[in-house]
Structure 1
Amino acid sequence: MERTLTIAGLANARDLGGLTRRDGSVTPWGVFVRTERLDRVDAQGWDALRAHGVRTVIDLRRPSESTGHAPTSVAHVRVDLDGDEAEFWEPYEADGRWGTPLYYLAHLRELPHRLAAVLEAIAAAEEGAILFHCSAGWDRTGLLAAVLLRALDVETDAAVADYLLSFANADAMAALHQRSSEAEGRHMILRQFGHTAESAFRDMYENLDLAEWFRVSRTDPTTRVAIETWRGAVGREEIRRRAPGYGCR
């Protein structure tokens, strides 16, 4: 199957299925789709998304950014992943790291309730694929994607490759939405901090301790199971096998 989705009105859309996991299996298809803003998706595009199984859209943008509406046949949920905690954001906005993976781990550590609200929305969604997006489908979407991929132990190289697709799609997004995603600016900021796009995401992903985050955030068990099984697409027995001490007597 092709992970990239060819949808009228989207240039950065892909299914998170088919990514190699550390146990040699791959992530399930048709569970999660990541995209940029949906403003240019027409009726034909929505038909294609529904045909792909999308039944819920989660908009990760701040309330002031929210635009567009999903058709009534698709649930539309808005959850602000960024938040308005100025004390957290000021240094990242001042030096440009807000548009890179260099803020991800700090966000998870200092604002755990923000991600928790998104994961709760995922767990509560009706049956069917979930499409999540921000503006460019790059970093807020990238942060959530990283968490979902870590939940299924996706190999680092596969997770990095998924993140880098947004850079590959930058020109197509600029042409479609008539708005630059400032890919070169992102590269420049990362170089200032001694990183490339690849190394920044790789470092973040390899240090993303999701089990610890679940502990600190006190996420309810139902939500945790939904995320760790990709809404039941992966068996709970596998999660039990991965638990510390499994098989010890």
Structure 2
Amino acid sequence: MTLISANAPLPLQGTYNTRDLGGYPAGPGAVCAGRFLRSDQPAGLGEGDLEALYRYGVRLSIDLRSGEECRRAPSSLRGYQDIRCEEVPLLDNLQSSLAAGETAGLPDSMGALYVSLLRESQPSLARALSLMAGCREGCVLYHCTAGKDRTGVLSMLLLSLAGVEEAVIVADYAASEANMAPFFAKQRAALEKLAPGGIPEGAFSSAPENMEMALAELRRQGGAEEYLRTIGLTGGEIGALRARLLAE
């Protein structure tokens, strides 16, 4: 049995879960390093971290958080050098419901939440992926708050498009729980205060079965390429994403 290990986080002081998608086996080759960084919120980056990310090649940052999350913890990347920063909120309705204490209609698991995201947040997913496809140079950093849920689904779509095996995609997702443990320990009380009606079960975990549910939904929708076409990406954009993922 082959042991599958996820990529380690970059040695930054201000984030816990900033990881390159590069190096994962994909068909006869591997995903290229230095093209995509998945991350938790870059709100506490010091000058050293910012310089390190710029040297790494980051030229586009895509923030998947809600407007309220962005106001509460602004990205340190905004305004740094010539890094372009875009906001593409995912699950905005969920954030509003949690803040209002309205949890009755929410999905009953994180896996169900990811399925809902794939079905109901297609315009935002398409926008984020289109921005990625249009980035001709450098590295794209994309993030939410923990770099686990919204970031995890977007990572799943990218890695699936590249041809990475599902077991590897699940391992990449599952690594967030351990990486973010220090953040969750400090933030749990604050997050529960923001969500007086309670937070979704498993919000602080990245159990493999959650991503397995998302992958099953993606298969039901015809796989990564068919899904991207369905949500509105052009053939050229899909080709650009695949080339960014795989071309040396």
**Counterpart in the other structure of 2:237:** 223
C-alpha deviation, 1:73, in angstroms: 2.9
**Equivalent in 153, 165, 173 of residue 163 of structure 2:** 153
**Equivalent in 82, 85, 90 of residue 76 of structure 1:** 85
> How far apart in 2 are the matches of 1:130 and 1:34?
8
Q: TM-score, normalised on structure 1?
A: 0.77
Structure number with greater CO (CA < 8 Å, separation at least 6) is 2
C-alpha deviation, 1:79, in angstroms: 1.1
C-alpha deviation, 1:30, in angstroms: 0.5
Partner SS state of residue 65, structure 1: helix
Q: TM-score, normalised on structure 2?
A: 0.77
**Counterpart in the other structure of 1:234:** 247
> How far apart in 2 are the matches of 1:39 and 1:99?
27
> How far apart in 2 are the matches of 1:16 and 1:3?
10
Matched ranges for 1:56-135 at <5 A: 56-66=60-70, 67-70=74-77, 71-84=80-93, 93-94=103-104, 97=107, 100-135=110-145
Tell me the C-alpha RMSD between the 2 structures: 3.2
> How far apart in 1 are the matches of 2:103 and 2:19?
28
How many residues align? The count is 223
Q: Does 1:6 align with 2:11?
A: yes
Question: What do residues 28-50 of structure 1 show as CA deviations (whole Å, max 9, x unaligned)?
Answer: 10110011111111000011111
**Counterpart in the other structure of 2:196:** none
> How far apart in 2 are the matches of 1:100 and 1:35?
18
Structure 2: segments with no counterpart, 5+ residues: 1-6, 193-198
Structure 1: segments with no counterpart, 5+ residues: 191-195, 236-249
> How far apart in 2 are the matches of 1:81 and 1:227?
20
Identity over aligned pairs, percent: 28
> How far apart in 2 are the matches of 1:146 and 1:62?
20
